[in-house]
Structure 1
Amino acid sequence: MKILFVVPYPVSKAASQRYRVEQWLPVLQEQTINYKLAPFWDTATWAILYRKGYSLQKLSGLVKGMFKRLFLLAQLPAYDYIFIHREATPVGPPWFEWVAAKVFRKKIIFDFDDAIWMPNTTEDNSMASNYKWHQKTAQIIKWSYKVSAGNHYLQQYALNYDANAVYLPTVLNTTINYNRVKEQQTERVTIGWIGSHSTLPYLKLIEPVLQQLEQNYSFDFIVVADRKPDLNLRSLNFIVWSADTEIESLLKFNIGVMPLPNTEWAKGKCAFKALQYMALGIPVVVSEVGANVVAVPDGLAGFTCNTPQEWYQKLELLLQDADLRAKFGHTGKLWVAQTYSMSARQQNFLNLFT
C-alpha cells in the first residue's frame, strides 16, 4: 500500500498536522505501509506567512506551492490513497482534489479539524480571505472515499455530503510524549494556556476574570504561543512555543484553561488544548462549547463554564486546593489514555485505509 499525504504546512510546524498526520507515520512504518508527505508551504515562506509585510515573498511562496501541486499530479498514479489534510491549496477552487478524484479516480481521504467551510477572517489572513474558496469543503467531502472529522460537530456537517464520514479525534501519544504527571504540591500556582496566534484573541474572554483573581491571589499566568498576547495582567509570563520544549512548557501549569466564544466556528474546535493538559495530569477549566463538553469530564477532571462567575469560582477552587488539582489530574490522565490516546484510536486511523 502507498499513501500520499497532501498537507498544508512544513513538517513539525503546525499542531493540527503534527498530531493528525505526522505522529501516525511511525504506525504506518510498523505496518510496512509506504507513504510520502507533500507540504504546500515551504519552511521559508511559513516563517513569514503570518507576519506583517513580506508580500512579495508570500506571493512567491504561494506560486511555488501551486507549482508543486501541479507537478504532484503526475505522481498520483503511484498511490493507492490520497490523504488530504484540510485542503490541497490555501486559496482558489479545489482543482487538485477534483483532478485526483475525477480524472485519476483516486480514493481520497479528507481530514479536517476546524469548521473550515465558514469564513473566519482575522487581521493575519484578511488579504488571503478574499481568495479563499470556503465552499470547496463540501465539494471535497462529496468527492472523498472517506472523511475523518476531528469532532462530532464536524462529522455531522460532513455526513450531509458523504455517508462515510467518521469521527476521529486528535489524539496524544501517552506512552512516549505525554507520559509524565504534573506535581501539584508546588510553591507557586500557575494557570496556563497554550495555542497559536489564531486563538490568542480567545484569552480576552477571561482577562477580566484573571484580573479579578489577581486582586485576591498570587499566581502566574503563562501563555505558550508563537506570539506574545495583548493582555493587561501583572501575572502574565510569555513562553515562545517550540515543538522541542512543548511538554516542558505545559508541565509548568498547575491548571490549564481553554476559553472559547459560543460561535459556530468555535464549535468546530476539537478541545485539543484541554486534552494536552489532562494527558499530563493537569486539571482544566474550559468554556462549555462544542467538543469541550465531550472531552472534559465536568467535576471529575476539570470544569466546564458558561459565565465569568463560573470561571472565577472554578479557578479559585483549584487555586486553593492542591489535593483537588492532583485528584482531577489523575482522573484526566486516565481518561485521555483510555479515550484520546494513539493506542485507543490506532485501529480507527488504520481503518481509513481499508
Structure 2
Amino acid sequence: MYQFVAPLESLGVRLDVRPFLDDVGFADLYRPGAIAAKIGHHLRGALRRWSDLGVAGRWDVALVHRDLWPFVGDAPLRRMRRCQPRWVYDFDDAVFLPNVSAANRRFRALKPARQYMELVSGARVVAAGNSWLAGWARAQRRTRPEDEVEVVPTVVNTDDWHPLPRGSGPLRLVWTGSHSTVRYLEAWREPLRRVARRIPELEVHVMGAHFEAEGVRVVSHAWGARAERELVASCDVGLSPLPDEPWSRGKCGLKLILYMAHARPAVASPVGVHPEIVCNGVNGILAEGSEAVADALARLLLDERLRRRLGEAARRTAEERYSVRAIAPRLAALLRRAADAPT
C-alpha cells in the first residue's frame, strides 16, 4: 500500500497506512523457527490493530488489505463494524484456503478462514487481485451487485522498476521468491538441467530461498528490495513456474510483473493469472512440461533480438496495465465509491 500513498494524495485521497507487523516483524515472519520472536511481534501487532480499529471512524473509509486480524475470533471484526462500517476489502492471494508457509505450519489452526468470508460479504466494495479471486468474492455476495467486486491487479512502481543496461557476463536466468514458494522452482529442475547442457556457461540466480540442481550453476542471493531490482536488471530471462492448484490460481503474478517492468521477458507456466498477463510469444512465453519449458528458455537465451523484442513489449504491458500510475485512479474511484455508500 505504501507505493500508493503519493499517487493517491495527488488525486485528493489521503492514505494513512497502519500495518499489523512492523518491518522487523515482517522479516521474521517467513524465517524458520524464531517462535518467540514471532509471538512477540504478533502480540504487539494485535495491540496496535485493536487501537487502530477503535479510531477507524475518524476516516471516511477503511481499506483492509488481506488480514484484518491474523487470529481466530470475531471481536476485531465486530469492533470494526461498530467503529467504521464502510470498508473496502483488498486481497491478492487465496487467503481463504488453508495454505501456510513451511516456516509457520504450527500456526495453521490460527488462520481465520471464516473471517475472510465475512470481510468480503460485509465490504462496501471488494478489490480482487485477479478474475478467479473476484469470482470467489462474488460467490460470497450473491445478493449484492456484481460490480461491487472489481478486479484490481497487483502493480509495481514502474518509476522504480525500469529497464537498466544488462552489463557483461554469462547468460543468466533469474527467479525471486521465498522458502514457501521455492517448491515451484524445484518442479523446473529438469528443464533447467536441459538448458544448462546446451549452454554450459549459463547461471541461474535465485533470490530468497535455497535451491540446487545437479549440473546447473546456481547463484544464491538473500532477499532485499534494492538487491532484487539490481539482480533482475543483471539477468536476461525471468522464471515464473506455477503448479495448477487452487492456491496457485489465486496468485496475482507479482514476480512476473517485476520481470516485465525491467523489460526482461519471462517463461511462465500457463496457470492462473499468467495467461492474462502474458500474451504468448508477444511479451513473454507460456510453457508447460519439461521439454517445452527447456525449449522456450533456450530460444530466449540464444536469440538476443527475440529477448529484446519480447522485453520491450513486456515493459509496455507493465506500464499500461500493471503500474501504480495506471491503477491509482481506479483505486481512488473505488475508495470514493465505498466512502459514499450508505451504511
TM-score over 0.5 (shorter chain): yes
Partner of 1:165: 149
- Residue 106 of structure 1 and its aligned partner are, at CA, apart by 2.3
5+ residue gaps, structure 2, are 337-343
- Residue 224 of structure 1 and its aligned partner are, at CA, apart by 1.8
Partner of 1:205: 187
Distance, in Å, in 1 between the alignment partners of 2:120 and 2:289 is 36
Amino acid at match of 1:346: A
Q: How does 1:157-236 map to 2 (within 5 A)?
A: 157-162=136-141, 163=146, 164-174=148-158, 176-181=159-164, 183=166, 187-218=169-200, 219-225=202-208, 227-232=209-214, 234-236=216-218
Distance, in Å, in 2 between the alignment partners of 1:35 and 1:333 is 28
- Residue 38 of structure 1 and its aligned partner are, at CA, apart by 1.4
Picking from 283, 297, 308, the partner of 1:301 is 283
Specify the SS of the correspondent of 1:337.
helix
Q: How does 1:105-184 map to 2 (within 5 A)?
A: 105-162=84-141, 163=146, 164-174=148-158, 176-181=159-164, 183=166
Question: Percentage identity across aligned positions?
Answer: 25
Specify the SS of the correspondent of 1:335.
helix
| Residue 256 in structure 1 maps to residue 238 in structure 2 | yes
Deviations 1:143-172 (A, max 9, x none): 111111111111111111233110000112
Greater helix share, structure number? 2
Amino acid at match of 1:115: A
Distance, in Å, in 1 between the alignment partners of 2:55 and 2:151 is 29
Partner of 1:59: 39
Q: Is the 8 A contact 1:94 1:140 kept in 2?
A: no
Q: How does 1:80-95 map to 2 (within 5 A)?
A: 80-95=60-75
| Residue 27 in structure 1 maps to residue 2 in structure 2 | no
Greater strand share, structure number? 1
Change (3 A) 1:111 1:232: farther
Change (3 A) 1:278 1:27: same
Q: Is the 8 A contact 1:88 1:94 kept in 2?
A: no
Q: Is the 8 A contact 1:80 1:106 kept in 2?
A: no
Amino acid at match of 1:257: L
Q: Is the 8 A contact 1:220 1:236 kept in 2?
A: yes
When normalised by structure 2's length, the TM-score is 0.90
Deviations 1:322-349 (A, max 9, x none): 1111111111111222222222222211
Specify the SS of the correspondent of 1:349.
helix
Partner of 1:5: none
Specify the SS of the correspondent of 2:225.
coil
Equivalent residue pairs, number:
330
Q: How does 1:6-45 map to 2 (within 5 A)?
A: 21-45=1-25
Specify the SS of the correspondent of 2:18.
strand
Distance, in Å, in 2 between the alignment partners of 1:180 and 1:116 is 33
Partner of 2:28: 48
Change (3 A) 1:73 1:341: closer
Report which stretch shifted further, 194-203 or 76-85: 194-203
Q: How does 1:196-345 map to 2 (within 5 A)?
A: 196-218=178-200, 219-225=202-208, 227-232=209-214, 234-345=216-327
Deviations 1:239-286 (A, max 9, x none): 222112222111011000100001011011111211111111111100
Q: CA RMSD in A?
A: 1.9
Change (3 A) 1:205 1:74: same
- Residue 66 of structure 1 and its aligned partner are, at CA, apart by 1.6
Q: Is the 8 A contact 1:119 1:129 kept in 2?
A: yes
Q: Greater RCO between the two (CA within 8 Å, min separation 6)?
A: 2
- Residue 232 of structure 1 and its aligned partner are, at CA, apart by 4.1
5+ residue gaps, structure 1, are 1-20
Q: Is the 8 A contact 1:211 1:233 kept in 2?
A: yes
Change (3 A) 1:333 1:51: closer
